[in-house]
Amino acid sequence: MVTTSDFKTGLIVRIDNELYTIVEFQHVKMARGSAFTRTKLKGLQSGRVLERTFRGSDKLEDVNIERRQMQYLYREGNMLFCLANETYEQIALESRLLAPSPDFLKEGIQVSLLLNDEVPIAAEMPFFVELEVIETDPGFKGDTVSGATKPATVETGSRVQVPLFVEAGDVIKIDTRSASYLERVNK
């Protein structure tokens, strides 16, 4: 069991038979009365955000979560198939479980899978991926307006805004959390 004094960001708890992760929390001590804790929780399966206040005496069920590194293999419909690095077992999971977005998944990328009793409950992509630009408009000489961007399609089929100097065939680094261009990679 977990008490409010054990709360920390990222802790996973079970409330009303649903798994939630603690996004934010704040311990509050009033001049009169007992202390309480305000929390913002995010449902791992549903993705909904819940704000809840707990008294100091409240106890929540702790959840045993196992984190495994997996290699992404392929997509079939809305299912993603991954291979366990240690056991070589293949696991299927719904694409909605992958955070922040499965749009930048490339075969061979390592993902972190969260399991509860051998059941996948969430998956996390690396924060940064390197992908090749397949198609983009050409940049013209003299187009040096600071901060100007153009759309580009990367090898996974996703579109990203890139600076004017990026050309088809370039490899770029993308922040998967914000789906934004970071830099061009020299290979």
Residues 101 and 138 in one domain: no
Q: Which pair of tokens denotes residue 72?
A: 């992404």
Instruction: Find the domain containing 88 and state its range.
Output: 66-124
Residues 56 and 72 in one domain: no
- Band (170; pLDDT cuts 50, 70, 90): very high
Q: What is the CATH number of the domain that holds 168?
A: 2.40.50.140
Residues 88 and 119 in one domain: yes
Q: What is the CATH number of the domain that holds 26?
A: 2.30.30.30
Instruction: Give every CB contact of residue 148 below 8 A, 6+ residues apart in sequence.
Output: 163, 164
Spatial CA neighbour of 44 closest among 75, 70, 23:
23
- Per-residue model confidence as pLDDT tens digits over 25-79: 998 888 887 888 999 998 877 778 889 998 888 888 878 888 889 999 998 988 8
Pairing between strand 119-124 and 98-99?
A: parallel
Residue 59 and residue 105 in contact, taking contact as beta carbons nearer than 8 Å:
no
Give the domain-ending residue among 41, 62, 83.
62
Residue 125 and residue 170 in contact, taking contact as beta carbons nearer than 8 Å:
no
What's the pTM? 0.68
Helical (H) or strand (E) element with 28: strand 18-28
CA separation for the pair 160, 80 (Å, rounded): 22
Please give the mean pLDDT across all residues of the chain.
86
Q: Give how many domains the chain has, as a whole number.
A: 3
Give the domain-ending residue among 15, 36, 62.
62
Residues 115 and 132 in one domain: no
Residue 102 and residue 94 in contact, taking contact as beta carbons nearer than 8 Å:
no
Predicted pLDDT of residue 100: 63
- Per-residue model confidence as pLDDT tens digits over 129-158: 999 999 998 876 665 666 788 899 999 889
Residue 104 and residue 125 in contact, taking contact as beta carbons nearer than 8 Å:
yes
